[in-house]
Amino acid sequence: MGYTTIFEGTFHLNQRLLDSETLYLLEFSRTRRMKRNPEILQDVPDAARTAVGLPVGEEGCYFVNEKWDEESELSIVNYNRPPKTQPGLWCQWIPTADGGGIQWNGMEKFYDYVEWLQYLIDNFIEPWGYVLRGEVNWQGEREEDVGMIWVENNVIISPEDAQELLRYAVSPVSVPKVVWDYLQAVEATGKPLTHWHELVDRAVELGHGEAALWFKPNMDKYLDGWERGFEFEGKVIKMKDSEL
């Protein structure tokens, strides 16, 4: 299952990446972006990362030596959730062979590709002193799912609001008060939801019928919030891990 999008074209850099930077970005794309314990990683060898002067990062976001704990999984906090600053488990943008640009790695099921490109610009390309520009076209599995990513001077011109897309992808999901009250009621029972199908039934059971009406048209938001937390008027609640 899943959905595959194909990308054609290359984003060009104003000058070639250093070999160490190219290697790091390749390793970054090869490693599953998992939420990790940064304290455990402080003294772990991570040659590609240290060569470019990056810290371990929040929740191990810059760590790339996945082979270190591929059997023991000592540092992994959650295998199925990325560090909270990153939009997904896999980044499939990689340097070109000559280090002069950024392109798709050809792997299937690349999600959050605009958000990931914005992340690379914000965290690597711009801080390292490079300027990215160019156009890449995409074609999804559905015939009508076509488009273009256009970058000029490290700014994603199209699609619009790329920075907002990334912000949404790594932030708690804002919900109305009726939903917030319901989520707090669920937490108070001490019996967290174990499957999204329980949402409506539990809402009715706990006397939160208005919240039940919100879920069906907003299921994507709910699933996002289960991973990143829910926000209402500056307060955040995080649901316990489940089988969602």
pLDDT band for position 126 (cuts 50, 70, 90)? very high
Look at residue 99 and tell me whether its pLDDT is greater than 90: yes
Average pLDDT over residues 15-34: 97
Using DSSP's 3-state secondary structure scheme, residue 21 falls into: helix
pTM given for the model: 0.82
- The two tokens of residue 113 are 């590709």
Handedness of CA 39, 26, 121, 136 (dihedral sign): negative
pLDDT band for position 242 (cuts 50, 70, 90)? very low
Pairing type for strands 5-13 and 35-36 reads unpaired
pLDDT (0 to 100) of residue 243: 36
Strand partners, 102: 11, 95
Span 146-186, pLDDT tens digits: 999 999 999 999 999 999 999 988 988 888 999 888 888 88
Q: Backbone phi, then psi, for 166, in 5-degree steps?
A: -65, -40
pLDDT band for position 244 (cuts 50, 70, 90)? very low
Q: How many whole angstroms separate alpha carbon 164 and alpha carbon 148?
A: 18
By C-alpha distance, which of 103, 140, 123 is closest to 5?
140
